[in-house]
Structure 1
Amino acid sequence: MKDIAEIYRLNPEEVYQALGTSPRGLSEEEAARRLEEYGPNQIQEIRGTPLWKKLLSHFTNFFAILLWVGAVLAFIADQAPLAWAIIGVIVVNAVFTFIQEYKAEKATEALKRLLPPMATVIRDGEEKQIEATRLVPGDLMILREGDHVSADARLVASADMRTNNSALTGESEPVRRSAAAVIEEGLSLGDVLNLVFMGTTVTIGTGRAVVYATGMDTEFGKIAQLTQT
């Protein structure tokens, strides 16, 4: 995966060279080699601890054990109301933390549902429909109105193109996209107009973009990883 700063400052012609491709796209042989190197373009779920173990852990962690000791001492000191209050704190804290973790797991599932099953690319000079999981860095994607973007990519051509980036930024207003090089520094990714991101949607216009990041290396993948840790 190329550094983002290297990609968005290049002219469209230089992008092809930097990512080892051309306006004819990758060959099927090269795409297969890169798929082997980078792996499938998909959001991976980190195999986590079973839910019942997660819930139990919140009753047995260091902080909880201290509270359990406090509750026992309160019972010994004939301070039952205090003891029950401490137990209540343990239960409320454990349940609240467990619910937050459960919501995070569901958030990952929701993120995966935003991803399209297919993508349109140029390979061997021909337009093809491929499974989005087979996209690799260097693939030349064709983006049209209504398309969901399947990977992080740098635009090399665009025509009156705007994208909805709400899945990443929370902003529902479509944002203009352009293939021109960006020389400004200190911009947030959402303000770099020549980049498009996995999980966003083309609301109007068309474009061609060279993939520079797939799967968990995308901005979308990084968000998904955060929800699982």
Structure 2
Amino acid sequence: KTGIVKLFFSQFKDFMTLLLIIAAAVSSVIAFISKDKNDLTDTFIIIFIIFLNAIVGTVQQYRADKAIENLKKLSVCSAKVRRDGKECTVDGTEITVGDIVLLEEGDVIPADCRIIECNGLKCDESALTGESVAVEKSAEAIRGNKVALGAMKNTLFNSTFVVRGNATAAVTAVGMNTEMGKIAAMLEDTKATGTPLENSLNKLGKIIS
């Protein structure tokens, strides 16, 4: 895990930020020699832009890191599955598409699954949808091509919880292919693409260079 101080200083590594730091240094020297208040104002504006960019970048990256960390904490250590007609407990990382998982009250769902059969099943999907009320599930087919996650009553989602009932379900997606995995990937992309201010400064730097 990267500390917030390290995150802050990492914001000063890109080309345009370094160019602005040099510009601020040159402007401050000119202001000192000429004793011109306008040059000093330019220096403060440049410094303000540099620190604003660093603060915004740090906050965004810190939030993304925390979100990814929380997603990892939800990963399942083990799950009960039926393979070759026998029930067994396997490590969560060994779950594969097509596995039949057996779920009961209190279980963390190990992957995205399609319900085969269930009894009085309700799940806590707040980590995925933000819905605070437990969602009632069923094995009935859902019609329509584009269905909101909250309306997919016959689907169970990775890292959500069974709060009532039990179910037998077939695994349809694992790892980064699950809905939770897609969220984690989006957060990683957000970190990689940088802030809008960083992108604008980098474009300007390329034009200047």
TM-score range (shorter-chain normalised) is 0.7 to 0.9
Greater fraction helix: 2
The residue type equivalent to 2:149 in the other structure is L
Q: 1:170 and 1:53 mapped to 2: Cα distance?
A: 28
| SS of residue in 1 equivalent to 2:9 | helix
The residue type equivalent to 1:171 in the other structure is E
| SS of residue in 2 equivalent to 1:157 | strand
* Contact 2:7 2:58 (C-alpha < 8 Å) held by counterparts: no
TM superposition score normalised by structure 1: 0.70
The residue type equivalent to 2:144 in the other structure is E
1:102 aligns with 2:56: no
1:155 aligns with 2:115: yes
| SS of residue in 2 equivalent to 1:153 | strand
Give, in angstroms, the shift of residue 185 of structure 1: 4.2
1:135-171 CA-partner distances (Å, limit 9, x unpaired) = 0000000110111100001001011111110111111
Give, in angstroms, the shift of residue 93 of structure 1: 1.9
Q: 1:102 and 1:199 mapped to 2: Cα distance?
A: 22
The residue type equivalent to 1:178 in the other structure is S
Gaps of 5+ in 1: 1-47
| SS of residue in 2 equivalent to 1:148 | coil
Q: Which residue of 2 aligns with 1:202?
A: 162
Q: 1:98 and 1:84 mapped to 2: Cα distance?
A: 21
Q: Which residue of 2 aligns with 1:144?
A: 104
- Of structures 1 and 2, the one scoring higher in RCO (CA 8 A, sep 6+) is 1
Q: Which residue of 1 aligns with 2:30?
A: 76
| SS of residue in 1 equivalent to 2:54 | helix
Q: Which residue of 1 aligns with 2:82?
A: 122
Q: 1:61 and 1:169 mapped to 2: Cα distance?
A: 39
* Contact 2:123 2:137 (C-alpha < 8 Å) held by counterparts: yes
Q: 2:61 and 2:117 mapped to 1: Cα distance?
A: 42
1:62 aligns with 2:16: yes
Q: 2:125 and 2:174 mapped to 1: Cα distance?
A: 17
Gaps of 5+ in 2: 190-209
The residue type equivalent to 1:116 in the other structure is V
Give, in angstroms, the shift of residue 71 of structure 1: 6.8
Alignment partner of 2:177 out of 196, 213, 217? 217
1:106-139 CA-partner distances (Å, limit 9, x unpaired) = 3212111112201011111111111111000000
Structure 2 counterparts to residues 10-89 of structure 1, below 5 A: 52=6, 55-58=9-12, 60-62=14-16, 65=19, 69=23, 72-73=26-27, 76=30, 78=36, 79-89=39-49
Q: 1:111 and 1:121 mapped to 2: Cα distance?
A: 23
1:135 aligns with 2:89: no
When Rg is computed on C-alpha atoms for both structures, the one with the higher figure is 2
Q: 1:172 and 1:53 mapped to 2: Cα distance?
A: 33
Q: 2:81 and 2:176 mapped to 1: Cα distance?
A: 20
Q: 1:58 and 1:111 mapped to 2: Cα distance?
A: 28
Q: Which runs of 4+ in 1 moved over 4 A?
A: 51-54
TM superposition score normalised by structure 2: 0.76
Sequence identity percentage = 36
Q: Structure 2 vs 1, CA of residues 160 and 56 (structure 1 numbering), >3 Å: closer, same or farther?
A: closer
Q: How many residues align?
A: 181
| SS of residue in 1 equivalent to 2:80 | strand
